Structure 1
Amino acid sequence: MSTLHRPQWFCSLHTNRGGAAPISFSSNVRLPPPHLRPKQQLLVETTTPKDYEELVCHRHKNCLEEVRRVFHETKDQLDTMLMIDFLQRLGIDYRFSEEIKSKIDSLCNNHFSIIDDGIHNFVKVTLLFRLLRQARHPISSNIFSIFLDGKGNFSTSLGKEIDGMVNLYEASYLNTGEEILYRANTFASEHLKSSMACLESDDARFIQQTLDYPYHMSLQRYKARQYLDHHHQDKGMRRIIQELARMDFILIQSLHKQELQEMTSWWRNTGLSQDLRFARDQSLKWYVWSMTSLPDPKFSQHRLALTKVIAVVYLIDDIFDLKGSLDELRLFTDAINKWEVSAIDLLPCYMRICYDALYKTTNEIAEMIFEEHGWNPINILKKSWIELSNAFMREAMWFARGHVPPADDYLRNGVISCGVPLVLTHLNFLLGGGAMDSAESYPNLISSPATILRLWDDLGSAKDEKQEGFDGSYLECFMKENPQCSVESAREHVMQMICKAWEELNKESFSSSSFSQDFVTACLNTARMVKLMYSYNEEHKLPMLEEYVTLLLFKAPNLKA
């Protein structure tokens, strides 16, 4: 049997998905059963022992200093790249942001010398491309042309380099519409699949997980958390880095639990769940969106503010889908367009309650942005709510009349009605970003995740188990325009559109735009979260999402004594 030949810092992130306890997406957070909670979970229980928390913080600080020292002393280019990759894959690269930026800048300044020698170092060139591109450094995919044969195909001799083949496969997902990366994906996936029969079982499992869950398309902390549950035998610096990641997860998990409790209390204190019983009561699910978009612990207040925005989006969506008559919805939409307190006078009681929550929440966030960044975006924020309500109203009129709109019209409206542009607009301002125009000129960084969510949701594997209203489907619109098209062909067309949206998102994410890296990461994570949030199984449940929530919020990683 063959094995993968790994350099010093190579990290194979096996992501086996074990059984996960069911998670309730209601305001009452439900912990997994006790057998899934390790002894070290004490820190994240409601009554956290102060001495244990101090012990973890002390060990974390010492471990952080040791890893930082080793990282600083690492001079070899390949070892440097592999260590950066390791830190990123374990979700602790934010702790070394300045050091990583310095080393990435150095690699960029010397990348021509690395490429010149690349034909003899497949591993180094393929990893260099991914690290530089995802760090928004300009690097052309044409660097892979050195690995092509006389016919323009990737050389079959590269198939022996399993590590490099993994890197090539991962790099192919950073595609912005480049033909050579399409070919790289096909070539690498074929060779990795054929190599599995000759590998040791652990290595074959790693290859399969890489093929199923490429790094760029996956949530970093989710893959890292899975990895830490399955790797306890490493030695030396790899073990120290893994222990640092485990302690980091425990500390951040404690913070997230506190934020979730605060969010749940806010929702309960608003009285909305009691007054509007028809609406979804899912504070955990709302918070998970914010936790995923903004993983850095420094954004605690921003996560809470964003979760409130998401809660109101869900609430208004339920009014349009489940409760309001067409006449009532017209009044509600008109009130939001006027954006005046007096506009609620003509509304039914339940709409007044929702309008009040919308008005207060939006003004609260505008004040927060003003205090932190020195300007008040209230006019743009209210405009985003007006666009959302108008999009909801347009859909309500379509469906009330039994009208199936042209697919392009449906998608153009659906990109707004999914709520992503509104949420990301709020997030952009919370992070200190500048003004953006109306939905028709949203940058791809915002419109692409919205397109991905709308299309993935419309694939219709299942509906939210607590949402009974009918709200249309791109598939239905497309198939009415193309009656000769089978359901399978229509779904394939939608998947191609999702791939195209990812390419547009990549193009904007890797460019030197004015958007901050934190906002870029948030937009990417929003797109990555879609598959977890909408992948229902035959029982109308979300097993991937349940495991994700369990690992990141409720099940702490084991620490060595």
Structure 2
Amino acid sequence: MAFSLSFATSTKHSTFSSNKTSNILEYNKTNLTSVFNQIHIPKSGKCKDDLHIRHAKALDEVKQVFVRNIRKNTDECLSMVDSIQRLGMEYNFEEEIEATLERKHTMLRFQNFQRNEYQGLSQAAFQFRMLRQEGYYISPDIFDKFCDNKGKLKYTFSEDINGMIALFEASQLSIEGEDCLDNVGQFCGQYLNDWSSTFHGHPQAKFVAHTLMYPTHKTLSRFTPTIMQSQNATWTNSIQQFSKIDTQMVSSSHLKEIFAVSKWWKDLGLPKDLEFARDEPIKWYSWSMACLPDPQFSEERIELTKPLSLIYIIDDIFDFYGNIDELTLFTDAVKRWDLSAIEQLPDCMKVCFKALYDITNEFALRTYIKHGWNPLTSLIKSWVRLLNAFLQEAKWFASGNVPKSEEYLKNAIVSTGVHVILVHAFFCMGQGITEKTVSLMDDFPTIISTTAKILRLCDDLEGDKDVNCEGNDGSYSKCYMKDNPGVSIGLTKEHMSEQISDAWKQLNKECLNTNPLPSSFTKLCLNAARMVPIMYNYDGNTPSKLEEYVKSLLNDGGYLQSIHSPTSEHSTV
């Protein structure tokens, strides 16, 4: 939902310009549909059985490598874990990954990590990143020996490109208060950017540029070209072969899910009743596909796409159709959760509320049967919170009032709808459901608000680059510039980038093992944040990142673009 900065006061059915999120949808819709229509699904049962046999055999081969190395070469196992995670197939090796990281963490505690004088910058930064991203707290003090007394990286390490890359990657996991790590990471980023520009013909230049654009921690694994951390031919080849087979199986599942979602959406009939609303089930399913990559969550991905679709549809009703009185009645009907409360509403709102009512009740019943907990109260609370935010933005638009930037952001974090999806996902996964965790979810926990903040600010920041944007949509940047007369758009964007960086630090902290919510949920939130730059990409008529992402998962072979690091420490799958 976006409010206009013009002083419009009409209370009739509105047809004002679409928000930034909608500006690229027609292009994405057409191309994603085209991609989907070109996909061929093998129907032979024999081929399917054959694939499963090859998958089991290849999986066992990689697991055996773990068994052989776990006690005698933990560093090699850690490199395997990194490669497996970069390929986006860690769900196959959860026990092996947990054992490797726990063993490495224990070893480092006994070895006094900070005083290990024989550990190089690249190795220290790599181990820091691997443990941090799995929820282990490792103090940034381990980098003290690489810095001078002013906290700056010693000049001698500026020639260690691999070390600088590893340190830059590690800094992406900094949390609030770790200013030294943050500053060193920024220095590495700037230095590597200047280096790759100066030595653009160097064999490593392309690899460096790619790392700066797509830091491992902030990028979806299946969207990132994969750099393996060793040239050990035995396990490198085994993992590569298994990845190809695993990708085939995952792609096959995603295709079936897309057909199921498309059929459900067609049978629901909302596109016919709400011609002004968006009609993009594949795009919406992409969120579920990114946030829940584990193949075991096939049913959950389909079910999660249903409330996702309703967020977009209801957003369009508030943006393009209803007047304030009608939108208030619609919001009140959701609060009452009563079908009889919609009699005074236009037909399109009646149809939408009926869909929301049925889908939410069915979702709650399914969760109760599967996990023994009825989440209906929590689900309704999440929808009411969202509609209140939508309604506030509609009132701002109708009155012509432009809120303060902080007031806008507080409301806009809710109007992203992120909390609705994450609450549904929490119950859908069924892990760690207790009275305590449900109470946390009802109270809009920090991990949810932080994820939503990243989405809102990235969307607004990216939307400001859209040359096709008409310029009258509400965004944080416009509110901030109104609050601070004379501030340039450049300084405003810097301020927004700093806020996004701070939000990532909060999210990093929330993903540590101290969070009372299950790690499966924190990882889901992290994947949602990683999906943001893919979903919100305003490049006019150029192929979108979302389109490339869908292609990468639906076509055999995955997105294994060749980006080579010429050092002996890396090879590319």
C-alpha distance in structure 2 between counterparts of 1:439 and 1:521, whole Å: 15
| Correspondence for 2:29 | 25
Structure with greater contact order relative to length (CA < 8 Å, sep ≥ 6): 2
Q: Cα 1:57–1:280, aligned 2, differ >3 Å: closer, same or farther? A: same
Contact 1:176 1:504 in 2 (8 A): yes
Following superposition, the deviation at residue 521 of structure 1 comes to: 1.3
Aligned length: 523
Following superposition, the deviation at residue 477 of structure 1 comes to: 1.4
| Correspondence for 2:210 | 209
| Correspondence for 2:457 | 455
Following superposition, the deviation at residue 282 of structure 1 comes to: 0.3
Contact 2:74 2:103 in 1 (8 A): no
Q: Cα 1:88–1:23, aligned 2, differ >3 Å: closer, same or farther? A: farther
Q: Which moved more, 1:445-454 or 1:549-558?
A: 549-558
Q: Cα 1:250–1:152, aligned 2, differ >3 Å: closer, same or farther? A: same
Contact 1:313 1:419 in 2 (8 A): yes
Contact 2:382 2:442 in 1 (8 A): no
| Correspondence for 1:138 | 137
1:100-133 Cα distance to aligned partner (Å, 9 max, x none): 1011111111113172324543232211111111
Contact 2:367 2:428 in 1 (8 A): yes
Contact 2:172 2:217 in 1 (8 A): yes
Q: Cα 1:362–1:269, aligned 2, differ >3 Å: closer, same or farther? A: same
C-alpha distance in structure 2 between counterparts of 1:270 and 1:33, whole Å: 21
| Correspondence for 1:256 | 254
Q: Look up the SS of the partner of 1:261 in the other structure.
A: helix
C-alpha distance in structure 1 between counterparts of 2:80 and 2:441, whole Å: 41
1:411-469 Cα distance to aligned partner (Å, 9 max, x none): 1111111100111111112222445459994222100111111112222236799x999
Contact 1:421 1:446 in 2 (8 A): yes
Following superposition, the deviation at residue 67 of structure 1 comes to: 1.0
- Counterpart pick for 2:478 among 476, 487, 498: 476
Does residue 507 of the first structure (1) align with residue 506 of the second (2)?
A: no
- The aligned amino acid for 2:44 is P
- The aligned amino acid for 1:128 is Q
1:516-536 Cα distance to aligned partner (Å, 9 max, x none): 222111111111111111121
- The aligned amino acid for 1:184 is V
C-alpha distance in structure 2 between counterparts of 1:547 and 1:151, whole Å: 44
Following superposition, the deviation at residue 162 of structure 1 comes to: 3.1
Q: TM-score, normalised by structure 2?
A: 0.85
- Counterpart pick for 2:325 among 324, 327, 333: 327
1:375-405 Cα distance to aligned partner (Å, 9 max, x none): 1111111111111111111111110011101
Following superposition, the deviation at residue 351 of structure 1 comes to: 0.6
Gaps of 5+ in 2: 1-25, 561-573
Q: Look up the SS of the partner of 2:33 in the other structure.
A: coil
| Correspondence for 2:447 | 445
Q: Cα 1:301–1:272, aligned 2, differ >3 Å: closer, same or farther? A: same
Q: How large is the Cα RMSD of the aligned pairs?
A: 2.9
- The aligned amino acid for 1:81 is L
Contact 1:406 1:477 in 2 (8 A): yes
| Correspondence for 2:16 | none
- Counterpart pick for 1:93 among 70, 90, 94: 90
Q: Cα 1:98–1:203, aligned 2, differ >3 Å: closer, same or farther? A: same
Alignment of 1:328-347 (within 5 A): 328-347=326-345
Contact 2:86 2:226 in 1 (8 A): no
Q: Which moved more, 1:55-64 or 1:527-536?
A: 55-64
Does residue 108 of the first structure (1) align with residue 105 of the second (2)?
A: yes
Contact 1:278 1:322 in 2 (8 A): yes
- Counterpart pick for 1:81 among 65, 78, 82: 78
Q: Cα 1:155–1:430, aligned 2, differ >3 Å: closer, same or farther? A: same
Q: Look up the SS of the partner of 1:358 in the other structure.
A: helix
Following superposition, the deviation at residue 161 of structure 1 comes to: 3.4
| Correspondence for 2:187 | 187
- Counterpart pick for 2:396 among 392, 395, 398: 398
- Counterpart pick for 2:60 among 58, 65, 75: 65
Following superposition, the deviation at residue 361 of structure 1 comes to: 0.7
Q: Cα 1:464–1:98, aligned 2, differ >3 Å: closer, same or farther? A: farther
- Counterpart pick for 1:497 among 492, 499, 504: 499
Contact 1:175 1:503 in 2 (8 A): yes
Contact 1:321 1:470 in 2 (8 A): no
- The aligned amino acid for 1:133 is R
Percent identity over the alignment is 38
Q: Cα 1:79–1:543, aligned 2, differ >3 Å: closer, same or farther? A: same
- The aligned amino acid for 1:475 is S
Q: Cα 1:338–1:27, aligned 2, differ >3 Å: closer, same or farther? A: farther
Q: TM-score, normalised by structure 1?
A: 0.87
C-alpha distance in structure 2 between counterparts of 1:353 and 1:506, whole Å: 41
- Counterpart pick for 1:309 among 290, 301, 307: 307
